[in-house]
Structure 1
Amino acid sequence: MIFILDYLEHIRGFLFAFLLFYPLFMAYLWMIGAIYYYWRRERGRPDHTQEPPLPRYPGVSLVVPCHNEGDNVHETIAALLAQTYPHFEIIAVNDGSRDNTGALLDELAEKHPQLRVLHFARNQGKAMGLRMAALVSPHEFLVCIDGDALLDPHATSWIMSHFVSGARVGAVTGNPRIRTRSTLLGKLQVGEFSAIIGMIKRAQRIYGRIFTVSGVVSGFRKTALHQVGYWSLDMVTEDIDISWKMQLNHWDIRYEPNALCWILMPETLRGLWKQRLRWAQGGYEVLLRNTLGLFSWKRRRMWPVYLEFTTSVVWSYSMLGVAVLWSLGFFFPLPDYLEIPSMIPEWPGVILGLTCLLQFAVSLRIDSRYEKGLSRYYYWMIWYPLAFWLISLLTSIVGLPKALFKKRGRRATWVSPDRGVTQGGAGGSR
């Protein structure tokens, strides 16, 4: 009996060590990977304000799926028309919009011969819009953005620099920048997209594959899309799905930080919850669909991404278990090996907080070459663990059963997102 109790005490000690050291390990892994990536691949390069020299300029279709984007479509199309890349067309997909999106696109198409418009009678989903645009495009390369995004004038050229230099490059993910900054949540997301999303993409490029392209701004090679069957119509996150399909079929995905795209993001807790829950569910759906196919030596480069994701799931549910035991301790006497004395992190919380601030400092320093004035958002980052770590933890927990019990084969269609309170900042205002 004593042996069993000692064993259970060791398990509890291991669990607490895992809960503390896993986020610390990942934070320093991401920081080291991002610094190495910056030093080897970004330092000394021209920045996004300059045009990269290309040996050739193959045709590109700029694809914009739109659903109820009447307030944004003029700005979005204007930014696409301002691309400095010499050979492009624009394909806008009006996906069953209930507002004036279709009429506005038709008006713009009459004024600008570069713009073609596809109309769906009813909501078919973003994946179907992207698929149809790819099928009607006469070009081998696509640059896909959201209907409320503003593409930087040189972004297409920077994305194409990877395609023309690498025959196995199937996709290139760009660098989303936040426009909605009128609330605390908006300001926190400015730091998040640098410290979390941008840093992780840099680190993942160093140790193998990336988890996902950014759905708001990515380039694709149509040959690769055709080989993997294009975007799946039943996945809630088509960007994660296509990323895994391409990389499991040995296509390379690269990250281009100079391909800037200014985007709108939620600035309410309700909107942020819905968005992050969709991201979590989409990650689980892709994981469930592809797990069996990963156990092949030919696909070993996906193993680090798979291990990173599955370990984060274990960490989230371990945190849930600790929280449940701590709550039960208020109502029932628990054995010593199940007793959780406190959920207040004390000195481990100080270490995690300092590491978080260091991570933000490193990432904002790296990203400052792409956006001036980022340092003023650093002081808001002290609130990030309280707001975003908790939301990420809860959506990870809720997202798994939603993915497990989702009805198979159901089409994933559009739901108009929360796009912030006031659109402004570096991307302009509307």
Structure 2
Amino acid sequence: MPLILSVVYFSTLVGLALYGAHRLKMLVLYGRAMARPRPPAPPLDASAQLCVQLPIFNEPLVVEALLEKVTALRWPDAKWEIQVLDDSTDETTAIIDRWLRAHPAAAARVTHVRRASRDGYKAGALKHGMALSNAEFFAIFDADFRPEPDFFEQLMPHFAADDVAVVQARWEFANRRQSLLTRFQAVFLDAHFVVEQTARAAAGLFFNFNGTAGIWRRTALEDAGGWTSDTVTEDLDASYRAQLRGWRLVYLDQYAVASELPENLIAFKSQQRRWTKGGIQVARKSLRSVFAAKLPGRVKREAWWHLTIGVVHPLLVTFSILFVPYLWFAADQLGTWWYLANPAIVLLAGGAPVAFYVAGQFFQRREWREGVMWLLASPLLLSFGLALSVTLCAAFFEGLFSNGGEFVRTPKGGRVARSGNLLTRLRSRTFFTAVTVIEVALSVVLLNGAVFFGSHGHSDLAFALGLKGTGFMVVALLSASDLWPSFWRARV
């Protein structure tokens, strides 16, 4: 038993360390990108025909603000239109109709599109809207995004090169300081939008359109096969198909569009579940084509790391399950190898992601005080990330063994928004309930391990186990409050 545990435990740590090393590589590429002089944008040509697509599904709290922002965009009047691709089944449709009647000047360029069914979900709505327009370029905004009037003026010049398929703006988060949960989310997501996207784009590697706050060239999207719904991340899928056809993507890390972070944990878990599931689906769909294509080896290798990042989550769950049993059997026999090899691997597996997360606070946003704060709070970051691993491990296996799936919207609208239709379907509530039970079980195991090793003089192990166990328990309790809000409110 000890030998088997040792082999599996260290294999898990080595896997995590490899993905940690890749995070360090991203930091190096990001540093190189920041050191390069930025070429000036080409002059603006305002002759292109544009279509703004707003895929909407049950967004009563945010849709009016979206319409106000999008109708204020600047572009020659005869050269652009807006499609509200409304698949809603609640009061959102009536809210849109009232807003359009109340703003006739803005409504003149808006088409309120209703489909007979929600086939293909977001991808299906975008595809349906595209068939209704003759536009050369399509800008896409999710319901919680708030573009500034100069959005077209900032992005469209980059289409001067004929091989550019997409220009993507960086996401910013208007409510990043709303709560500890939104602060955690912002740190995790900044690492992607600030460091990762910038690094890949500047190094000429494959990266992805983020589904919103960007513009597609119609001919590129059609050449890549258009929108498809055989994955739940149609944006990632279309990006890879376009780049395999020779098209380029442009990322504007210095220009951001404000958006909203979900303010309850189940909504955040649902969002991350979809991204992880879809990433693995795209890996299954695209990696074979990537490796068969005539591409530089570095592009192929990075595509592998990019699309298989979801592997980290089964590794983290395995680590959480094995940590206490491994220490239980090995605690009385800790030799030199433990004090040298184990900390080195753990540092790479855990320290590299922390550096990756904190870099976004230090370098892009110039939030030095915030960056130092998160550096000091890095154990909390790791604990929170580890606690999310149960949800994302399940999502990994969903993506590994299934195609497509329902596109479940992430509820937005501040604290007023709850998990809503995420939990109206029995299978969603069952999924998140099962995840919460597993989180509680892992917390109990880790906290018991903390008590045991603390009582035997291993204070360092007790601290690590206690922190990880507390992270699982806090995430489980927050999830439970979203799953059964009336139950918890009655006891507060």
1:72 is aligned, of 43, 51, 62, to 62
The answer as to whether partners of 2:287 and 2:304 remain within 8 angstroms in 1 is no
User: 2-side partners of 1:162 and 1:85: how far apart?
Assistant: 16
**Which AA in structure 1 matches 2:60?**
G
Match of 2:163 among 165, 168, 183: 168
Amino acid across the alignment from 2:247: W
For residues 114 and 66 of structure 1, the distance between their equivalents in structure 2, rounded to whole angstroms, comes to 17
| 2:430 aligned partner | none
TM-score normalised to the size of structure 1? 0.80
Alpha-carbon distance, 1:412 to partner: 3.4
Q: Contact 1:265–1:419 at 8 Å: present in 2 too? A: no
User: Contact conserved, 1:191 with 1:377, CA < 8 A, in 2?
Assistant: no
Q: CA deviation at 1:268?
A: 2.2
Is the CA contact (8 Å cut-off) linking 1:155 and 1:260 kept in structure 2? no
* 1:354/1:268 CA distance change after superposition, 3 Å: same
* Identity %, equivalent residues: 21
Once residues 177 and 79 of structure 1 are traced to their aligned partners in structure 2, the CA distance between those partners, rounded to angstroms, is 15
Rounded Cα–Cα distance in structure 2 between residues aligned with 1:306 and 1:28: 16
Provide, for residues 35-61 of structure 1, a one-character-per-residue CA deviation record: whole Å limited to 9, x for no partner: 22233254x869xxxxx8414441211
Aligned to 1:363: 360
Distance in structure 1 (CA, Å) of the matches to 2:206 and 2:214: 13
Separation of aligned partners in 1, 2:90 and 2:7: 59
Q: CA deviation at 1:358?
A: 4.6
- Counterpart of 1:91 in structure 2: which amino acid? Q
The 5-angstrom pairing of residues 236-385 of structure 1 reads 236-300=232-296, 302-309=299-306, 312-329=309-326, 358-360=355-357, 362-368=359-365, 375-376=369-370, 379-380=373-374, 382=377, 383-385=380-382
Amino acid at match of 1:167: D
**Letter of the aligned partner of 1:261 in structure 2?**
V
Alignment pair present for 1:100 and 2:80? no
For this pair of structures, how many residues does the alignment match?
399
Provide the residue aligned with 1:123 in structure 2.
118
Asked whether the 8 Å contact 2:9–2:322 carries over to 1, the reply is no
Higher alpha-carbon deviation: 270-279 or 203-212: 203-212
1:82 is aligned to 72
C-alpha displacement of 1:66: 0.8
2:175 corresponds to 1:180: yes
Distance 1:41 1:107, change over 3 A: same
1:132 to 116, 128, 142: 128
Q: Is the 8 A contact 2:316 2:386 kept in 1?
A: no
Whichever structure has more helix as a proportion of its residues is: 2
CA distance 1:8–1:79, change in 2 (3 Å): closer
Matched residues in 1 for 2:179 and 2:190: separation?
18
Write out aligned runs for 1:190-209 (5 A): 190-209=186-205
**Cα distance in 2 between the residues matched to 1:216 and 1:240:** 11
Distance 1:123 1:41, change over 3 A: farther
- Does the 8 A contact of 1:209 with 1:247 survive in 2? no
Corresponding residue SS for 2:209: coil
CA distance in 2, matches of 1:57, 1:258: 25
Distance 1:411 1:313 in 2: 17
1:208-234 CA-partner distances (Å, limit 9, x unpaired):
333421112121000011112211123
- Which residue in 2 is equivalent to 1:114? 109
Alignment of 1:153 with 2:143, yes or no, is no
Shift, 1:314, TM fit: 4.8
Letter in 2 for 1:241: D
1:84 match: secondary structure: coil
Please name the residue that 2:139 is paired with: 143
Q: Contact between 2:201 and 2:250, CA under 8 Å: does it hold in 1?
A: yes
> In structure 2, what is the equivalent of residue 61 of structure 1?
51
AA of the residue aligned to 1:93? L
TM-score w.r.t. structure 2 length? 0.70
SS in 2 for 1:270: helix
Unpaired segments ≥5 residues, structure 2: 418-492
Counterpart of 2:223? 227
Alpha-carbon distance, 1:241 to partner: 1.3
**Within 2, Cα distance between the matches of 1:330 and 1:352?**
18
Instruction: Determine helix, strand or coil for the equivalent of 1:285.
Output: helix
Structure-2 change in CA distance of 1:12 and 1:68 (3 Å): closer
